[in-house]
Amino acid sequence: MDKQADHPEMAAANGDDEPATGVFHTISSTDLVTQIARQITEAIVSGNLRPGSRLTELQLSREFGTSRAPVREAARLLESQGLVVSSPRRGFFVRTLEPQDLHDIYELRIGLEVHAALLAVDRITEHEIDRLQRQIEKMYALADEGSLEQQIMEDFTFHRLLCAASGNRRLLKVYDELATEMRCGIALIGRLFDSAHRLAETHEPVLDALRERDADKLAAAVRFHIVEAQDQVVELFSEISRRPKP
């Protein structure tokens, strides 16, 4: 059996002449750097590129059907976003997150989303509230189907909708950056709560407070919801980090 076929990150971590990973596809000539960065980001957050994997410029340029220059620029862009790190004379590598990194990310997320929620109290529309309700319903349905990965994606969509309801585009941009890093950590953990339904249930108090337009109740609900997720994620991530390396 071809181990590299089972573990695409191995192909990115080794020599320049190795076979294609199958993770990426050829892209068009418009805005190459952004498109390459987007595909690499998705490979990282989905777990196809693991922490510590090397981003080999020559191999990736072949898979994307480009020269090496836009691949290098995309890697630099991802480095500025905290997803990739560079090593002199060795190149770029997928960043390895530590438990403290996730703790800090969630602390920032608490402040960001509480502020977004308080702005949304006066700005959110009934249509946006209905969309949030549908997101919770999706999470419940996916819990019944056993689709954890998609359920987590719908969780991020719920929180993005909440941030969007603030009406502050800069705030939404910061949330998107945080969400990318959070998805990296959660991809390594593989789960959030012991019960799939618990993930959906934790959003109910947030939506109830929004419907009531109760700012104090909403701030408390958002804070409690994110702190609970923070405790779960950091604890599970710490357990993984303590395991002996294979």
SS3 42: helix
- DSSP annotation of 190 reads -
Share of the chain above pLDDT 90, in %: 46
Q: Compute the distance between CA of residue 176 and CA of residue 155 in angstroms, rounded to an integer.
A: 13
Q: What is the pTM of this model?
A: 0.71
- 91-94 and 84-87 beta bridge pairing: antiparallel
User: Which residues are CB-neighbours of 50 under 8 A, at least 6 positions away?
Assistant: 9, 94
- The angle formed by the CA atoms of residues 3, 150 and 121, to the nearest 5 degrees, is 145
Q: Compute the distance between CA of residue 175 and CA of residue 169 in angstroms, rounded to an integer.
A: 10
Read out DSSP for 210-239?
Answer: HHHT-HHHHHHHHHHHHHHHHHHHHHHHHH
pLDDT tens for the chain, 246 residues: list them. Answer: 444 444 444 444 444 555 566 777 766 555 889 899 989 988 887 778 888 889 999 999 999 999 999 999 999 988 887 788 998 888 999 888 888 888 999 999 999 999 999 999 999 999 999 999 999 999 999 888 866 678 888 999 999 999 999 999 999 999 998 888 887 777 666 555 556 788 889 999 999 999 999 999 999 999 999 998 888 888 877 876 666 654
